[in-house]
C-alpha cells in the first residue's frame, strides 16, 4: 500500500509497458505475450479470444490471424478493438483500446519467416473459424501442405495477415492490499499522452 509499490510516475505509456512486459517474460509462469482481444460486429455483438503479441512499440501492438476468421471479419466491420494483458503472478493488468490497421506485407512476411516450419504449415492447412467435419480432415490438409512444400521454404499464405492496434487509451492496474489497487490511465490527445489516476 506504500508509494514504492505503486505504479511509477512516467508520461510514456510505451516505456512503462515495456518494463512490465520484460518483467512478465522473466517471472510469469504463463506466456507473457498472451492477450485477450475483444472485437465487435456492426450489430453490436461482442466477442473475445486469446491471441499472442508478436511486436509492439510506439506505433502499437501487433498480432496475426487468418483473414477468413471471425475476428478478421469483425475487424473489417468495425476496426475499433480492445486488448487486455493479465499477468497473474505479478498481479498486474494492462488494458488497451484503439483502432486496428493491417500490417504491411513486408512486415508480415518477415514475421512469418520466423515461425517454425510446422506452424507455417498449419497456417496453410486451417480455414480458421470455418466448419470442420472432423479432426481427420484438418490432419489430412496439414499432410497435403507438408507434401506440397517439401524441400522448399513455406511462403506466407495470402489469407494470413497481421493487425496493429494503434492505442488511444492504455490503462495500467496494479494489485495492492485491502483492494486499494493502483490504476493509471493514459489517454491520447493532440498534445501527446495525458496521464491520470483512477479510483480502484
| Cα 137 from Cα 159, distance rounded (Å) | 20
Query: SS3 of 29, please?
Result: coil
| Cα 76 from Cα 184, distance rounded (Å) | 31
- Options 25, 115, 179, 183, the catalytic residue: 179
Query: SS3 of 76, please?
Result: helix
Classify residue 9 by its DSSP letter: P
Which H/E stretch holds residue 131?
none
CB distance 185 to 171 below 8 Å: yes
| Cα 102 from Cα 118, distance rounded (Å) | 24
Active site residue 106: no
Helix ranges restricted to H, the chain: 13-27, 70-77, 105-112, 117-125, 135-148
Side-chain half-sphere CA neighbours of 24 within 13 A: 22
Classify residue 68 by its DSSP letter: T
Indicate which residues carry an active-site annotation: 179
Amino acid at each position: 500500500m506504500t508509494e514504492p509499490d505503486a505504479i511509477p510516475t512516467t508520461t510514456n505509456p510505451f516505456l512503462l509497458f515495456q518494463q512490465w512486459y520484460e518483467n512478465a517474460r522473466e517471472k510469469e509462469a504463463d506466456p507473457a505475450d498472451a492477450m485477450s482481444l475483444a472485437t465487435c460486429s456492426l450489430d453490436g455483438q461482442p466477442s473475445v479470444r486469446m491471441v499472442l503479441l508478436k511486436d509492439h512499440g510506439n506505433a502499437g501492438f501487433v498480432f496475426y490471424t487468418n483473414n477468413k476468421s471471425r475476428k478478421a471479419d469483425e475487424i473489417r466491420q468495425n476496426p475499433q478493438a480492445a486488448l487486455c494483458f493479465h499477468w497473474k503472478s505479478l498481479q498486474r493488468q494492462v488494458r488497451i483500446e484503439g483502432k486496428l490497421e493491417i500490417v504491411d506485407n513486408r512486415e508480415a512476411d518477415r514475421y512469418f519467416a520466423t515461425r517454425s516450419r510446422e506452424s507455417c504449415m498449419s497456417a496453410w492447412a486451417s480455414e480458421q473459424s470455418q466448419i470442420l467435419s472432423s479432426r481427420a480432415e484438418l490432419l489430412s490438409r496439414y499432410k497435403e501442405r507438408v507434401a506440397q512444400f517439401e524441400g522448399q521454404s513455406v511462403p506466407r499464405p495470402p489469407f494470413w495477415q497481421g493487425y496493429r492496434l494503434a492505442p488511444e487509451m492504455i490503462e495500467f492496474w496494479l494489485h495492492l492490499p485491502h483492494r486499494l489497487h493502483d490504476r493509471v490511465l493514459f489517454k491520447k490527445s493532440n498534445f501527446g499522452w495525458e496521464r491520470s489516476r483512477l479510483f480502484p
